[in-house]
Structure 1
């Protein structure tokens, strides 16, 4: 993978050094879908998150966004080396009440925005971590089947073993 055009449409699973497992689908040049399989907000999943997606240098890509929760995320992917480094900036309220965010966010945008205004934002809980990419697939651009259901126990392994079909 050496161009942004090749990166767009990729589906990846990665595990942070702290053990948290996430899944990312680069849906198109400005949108991502993702699921969180473990960690502080394990069980959360999101579709159609607007994001800034750029190529830093050949083979290195950055995805950055702000969630309705007020959480800021910036991820650097180096897929050819199965490496990712990310920084997540959780608002104080998400760190203290992650249970509020563990849902299909798209159905609860109002709750996320209300919670962001109701609870304290600072200090931010900053999580900078390296991650190993454990799966890379290429389901193509704008494939609504990739992130189409809530995460479940064992889902990442089912994806790695191709038990879930993401064909258009």
Structure 2
């Protein structure tokens, strides 16, 4: 993608894959001005995926965006995107229970929000595990806003490479193999 990001509208509808300096790989989609979808391909909660997460999405200055949200798990996330420089700076604030029982979260969150909320109440939330990291954007695609094909299935081995290699979406940014 050779697009230059200047406005918030340039950012909305963009699908990213990025790898944190610690090796964790994430896939993230700015679905619209208040919602994000994502899949986690590496790290302590690899295999987790989420659709329609409410988020605060703003442009800080031309081409620089801040996105922040709180998950039903109690995890807080703050991401700064600098797509013109292929950079992300993220800080994830994992509750103690997620650090101790990450396997509970490794699922399609939308179908298990009651499980996340129950675990949040049952286990300790403090002290939080704070993970501040820089990441490199390895893919950016113009999926358009509100495209439910972008994050529509569980992560699998090799999925990010399938996307980067043009084997996952057609020219209209719809999944090839449904």
Report the TM-score range of the alignment, normalised by the length of the smaller protein. over 0.9
Equivalent of residue 133 in structure 1, options 125, 128, 137: 137
Instruction: Give the whole-Å Cα distance in 2 for the aligned partners of 1:141 and 1:167.
Output: 12
TM-score normalised to structure 1 length: 0.99
| Alignment-derived partner of residue 55 in structure 1 | 59
| Alignment-derived partner of residue 87 in structure 2 | 83
Instruction: Give the whole-Å Cα distance in 2 for the aligned partners of 1:162 and 1:85.
Output: 26
1:95-137 Cα deviation digits (max 9, x unpaired): 0100000000000000000000000000000000000000000
Partner of 2:149, secondary structure, is coil
Please report how far the alpha carbon of residue 140 of structure 1 lies from its aligned counterpart in structure 2 after TM superposition: 0.0
Please report how far the alpha carbon of residue 167 of structure 1 lies from its aligned counterpart in structure 2 after TM superposition: 3.0
Segments of 4+ moved more than 6 angstroms:
none
Partner of 2:90, secondary structure, is strand
Equivalent of residue 160 in structure 1, options 160, 164, 178: 164
Q: How many residues align?
A: 168
Matched, 1:5 2:9: yes
Instruction: Give the whole-Å Cα distance in 1 for the aligned partners of 2:174 and 2:148.
Output: 10
**Structure 1: stretches of 5+ with no match in the other structure:** none
TM-score normalised to structure 2 length: 0.93
**Structure 2: stretches of 5+ with no match in the other structure:** none
